[in-house]
Amino acid sequence: MTRRKFILSLLGAVSSAIASFGIWDYVKNMKKIFKSDHFVSGRFRNKNLIYEMGEGTRLDTAKRWLFAKKDTFPKKEFHFKADKFPQKASDSLKIMWNSHSSVYIEIEGKRFLCDPIWSMNLSPIGFGGPKRFFESPLNRNDMPYPDGVLISHDHLDHLDKNIVKYLSPKGVRFYVPVGVDHILKLWGVPQSQIYAADWNDSILIDNSIKLTSLPTVHFSGRGLFDRNKSQWTSWIIEGLKKKVYFGGDGGYHNEFKTFGKQYGPFDMTFLEIGAYDKNWDKIHLGPESAVQAHIDLKGKVLLPIHWGAYDLAIHPWKEPVEKIIKVAEKNKVNLALPKPGQLLSENNFIINTKWWET
């Protein structure tokens, strides 16, 4: 073998090794991250600088967390079973809230899961951490495979490793903020099934559904050393006739009004109402701000998310829904408050099951 052939063979072997370990994909992903206008000094940041927790409030938070928490977990057991799915996805719009921020959406013939969480504990090691109030109503084996899974950010209560690893071998596509694509690659999801979007990017699916990533005010990180290494986002799912806004996590910001003017109106908005506190009010909406954001977005019906499944704050577990009912009534906002696992069609979006009182 000549020296030239040897060198070419060696380079080919090295290239194959790099490809097999995913290093080349990682390099390409990092290029997209570094190109982002919102990636500064090695970390993603919000458009406007905010303190995720106000200075001098950590001690106060710790004290109240230890001594002021009350009724943050239901005193009785809940058991829910999801409604059966039709064989064919709706040509219009159907939704199912699976508790917390997990939402199933049928829109114009496509099925999507947003921030699906099946794990009973929010923990990087599989046990410990906050425990679900009840098991997921939606059994993953009874669920039709979605056309896509949308992830808002990498927090443990929004990105579930177990469900990702379950759906990945089925060929399901994952739509994620930049940086989260690398996490999925490490979990074994093929690059061909991952679509990463920076803020204001759009992805067209089969020339019928458009997904658009829009800024939120939040943060990211699954452990001690990955703070803000990936982006956080909200999603618009837009068909030819129907359109919804999935907010994920994040505090109130003036761009909600811009989104409403540019992209609204929305048939439904999914906005977080739980896990709020005075010491982190910049990064979570809460009931009052959720209603205002819904109005800004020009939403028709608001389905509250990020409540009713985990003990993640100091307020009583039912307080978010009790508050938003009053605020929505005052502002003449239509609410969708289904039971977890209840499949809703357009003719029954506006509903109040009061399941938390049953």
Summarize pLDDT for 145-161 with one digit per residue, the tens.
999 999 999 999 999 99
Asked if residue 77 and residue 1 are part of one domain, the reply reads: no
Q: Give residue 232's domain range.
A: 41-357
Same-domain status, 187 and 253: yes
SS3 266: strand
The answer to whether residues 3 and 138 belong to one domain is no
Report DSSP state, residue 214. Answer: E
pLDDT reported for residue 37: 78
Q: Are both 298 and 334 inside the same structural domain?
A: yes
Q: Which pLDDT does position 34 carry in this prediction?
A: 67
pLDDT for res 124: 80
**Is the same domain home to 9 and 142?**
no
> Do 134 and 3 share a structural domain?
no
184/313 same-domain check? yes
Q: Are residues 114 and 202 in the same domain?
A: yes
Query: Dihedrals φ, ψ of 268, to 5°?
Result: -155, 145
- pTM of the predicted structure, to 2 decimals: 0.90
Q: The domain spanning residue 63 has which CATH number?
A: 3.60.15.10
Q: Do 253 and 333 belong together in one domain?
A: yes
> Can you tell me the mean pLDDT for 204-211?
95
- For residues 12 and 71, membership in a common domain is answered with no
Using alpha carbons, select from 136, 119, 133, 121 the residue that is nearest to residue 74.
133
pLDDT class for 10, splitting at 50, 70, 90?
very low
Give yes or no: residues 20 and 107 share one domain. Answer: no
Nearest to 249 by CA among 132, 155, 113, 130: 155
Q: Say if residue 161 is in the same domain as residue 119.
A: yes
E-only strand ranges, the chain? 39-40, 43-44, 93-97, 103-107, 110-114, 148-150, 174-177, 194-197, 202-205, 209-214, 234-238, 243-246, 268-272, 302-305, 336-337, 343-345, 351-352
Residue pair 65/75 in contact (Cβ under 8 Å)? The answer is no
Number of domains in the chain: 2
